[in-house]
Amino acid sequence: MANTSSGVKQIIMLTLGWEELPKAWSIHGIDQSERLVEPVPALLVETIDGWVLLDTGFNKALIEDGALFDRFHSKFHQILPILPAYGTDPLLDALDRHGLSVDRLLAVAVSHLHNDHAGGLRHFGGSDTPVYIQSKELEFGLGDIAKAQGHGLARVDYDDPRLNFKKISGDVEIAPGIRAISTPGHTPGHQSFMVDFPQANGANGFIFAFDAGDLKENFESELAIGGFIDVEASDTLDQIRKLKSLAREKQMVIVPGHDPTIWPTIEEGLSRILK
């Protein structure tokens, strides 16, 4: 979907894989036996200055190599990663489908460093492409390796001195029409993104929550998320309420990060949100 009335010209929603997991990872305190298949999200946003990638999906090698899978995925809390059945790399394939390549991107930003969001950062090592990340997130990711890995971070994805990290703190505009919104709790430096993109229905744009709220239920019923680090479950409601308040103030639509009925497939595109 295209737009010409703000700094953002186009938004393309990407599904870079899926995860089969207990719904309790998304809704705190519910029965662990209930399972969902949730999409692995990313976004391509075309601004007046160029294309920006928000999140990068899995590192395919950590799933396909048996020893690496055993280290990073097989014992991680009943979360099963699922790659697309086609192509060579989820992120590179998605870029190619839209006529893009890593060297054509103006910037990258990651909501956080979990393995389903930061696995594609390896494609940007040695490039000048800035990678926007909250300072607290990078500090956590490069700190206690056992703790980080125990919480689903794969240090091999992001511990690369060739990555051009741009550390930010708090709510910061990272490109025309794109603002990072600090929403810690799921991880110490998690960030969501507000995208200025006026719509015919009166909405002024979108707030992409990523893992500050996985499902529609998190926002409609103000239910705490199930995955969090160094906070209490109830603390994650602060970020849900922050995003809801921003959405009301800015007249924007909140898009939960992993909702299997809301997050569109690549082919369906942004229009599904607006129906």
Pairing of strands 253-256, 8-22: unpaired
Q: Which residues are registered as beta bridge partners of 191?
A: 182
Please give the angle made by the CA atoms of 1, 267 and 60, to the nearest 5 degrees.
115
Mean pLDDT of the chain: 92
Ranges of beta strands (E only) in 23-95 are 35-47, 50-54, 80-82
pLDDT > 70 fraction of the chain, expressed in percent and rounded: 93
How is residue 265 annotated by DSSP? P
Per-residue pLDDT at 102 exceeds 90 = yes
Per-residue pLDDT at 38 exceeds 80 = yes
The pLDDT tens digits of the residues spanning 52-97 come to 999 999 999 999 999 999 999 987 778 999 999 888 999 999 999 9
Alpha-helical runs (H) found in the chain: 61-64, 66-72, 90-97, 135-141, 145-150, 216-220, 236-250
Domains and CATH numbers, the chain: 8-274 (3.60.15.10)
pLDDT at 270: 56
Per-residue pLDDT at 161 exceeds 70 = yes
Per-residue pLDDT at 170 exceeds 90 = yes
Round to whole Å and give the CA distance between 28 and 33. 13
Contacts of 99 (CB under 8 A, 6+ apart): none
Structure tokens at 38: 């949730």
Helix, strand or coil for residue 175? Answer: strand
Per-residue pLDDT at 268 exceeds 90 = no
Contacts of 89 (CB under 8 A, 6+ apart): 60, 120, 123
Per-residue pLDDT at 192 exceeds 70 = yes
Other Cβ atoms less than 10 A from the Cβ of 105: the count is 19
pLDDT at 74: 81
Name the residue among 152, 145, 150 with its Cα closest to residue 190: 152
Round to whole Å and give the CA distance between 116 and 91. 11
